[in-house]
Amino acid sequence: MTAPRRSLLLAGLFVSALIVVAIAASWGEGSFAAHMVIHMALVAIAAPLLAAALSGTTYDVTRHLSWLTPLNASLLELLIVWLWHVPAMRVLAESHAIFALLEQAMFLGGGLLLWFACLGGRADGRMGRQLAGAIGLVFTSMHMTLLGVLLALSPRPLYASGTVTCFGLPLSAELDQQAGGVVMLLVGAVSYLVGGVALLAGILGPDAAERDMTGRIREDAA
């Protein structure tokens, strides 16, 4: 593994470790904003770092799952994200540790599948997958933006009532939900949009075709 990839892997593992600490620190507080900070750290920070470090290696699931296209992965993540933000599912995750762990595992798994589908895969045809990846990431940014706006502008709190505690800070349930929606907008939507634009810029770059051909030659030789 090259030094840049090793740095990305260590950064992804470090963020993942911080997430574990955040989960322990916020457990039982009932804060939607704290939940959203953890969620966005998983799918928009840890997942792309880990996928960028491991793409193209034996850990890259895209190389083994032919159905895993960027669009399919984006739709799968949409299903996971919207499912776990149904009020009844939030109550379940807040009430039982096993469901809270399942929720976070599905968030991380869905995020990794999406970023692997966009960044990884075999060298042959990678430019086409990167174009599909740019579309998939922009689409993900759009549905993240929509959910964030709906949560931030909701006329009433959907997940709690009264006062909740967000990492030790007391907030009204309404303000807590608005803060969570803003976190999704600022972190989630922006991360996926930047990723999509970066992929598109790489495809349109003057040496893109040469890089694609070089990748094919190296993979054929291997």
Q: Say yes or no to pLDDT of 191 above 90.
A: no
Collapsed DSSP state (helix, strand, coil) of residue 166:
strand
- pTM of structure: 0.84
Q: Say yes or no to pLDDT of 78 above 70.
A: yes
CA distance 22 to 84: 19
What is the mean predicted confidence (pLDDT) over 90-108? 89
Given this model, what pLDDT does residue 8 score? 92
Write the pLDDT tens digit of every residue in 29-45. 788 999 999 999 999 99
What is the mean predicted confidence (pLDDT) over 157-176? 88
Report the share of the chain in percent with pLDDT over 70.
89
Q: In this predicted model, which residue has the larger pLDDT, 91 or 122?
A: 91
Given this model, what pLDDT does residue 82 score? 94
**Do 52 and 115 meet the contact criterion of CB atoms below 8 Å apart?**
yes
Q: Minimum mean pLDDT among 48-52, 64-68, 205-209: which range?
A: 205-209
Q: In this predicted model, which residue has the larger pLDDT, 218 or 111?
A: 111
CA distance 209 to 96: 51
Given this model, what pLDDT does residue 213 score? 42
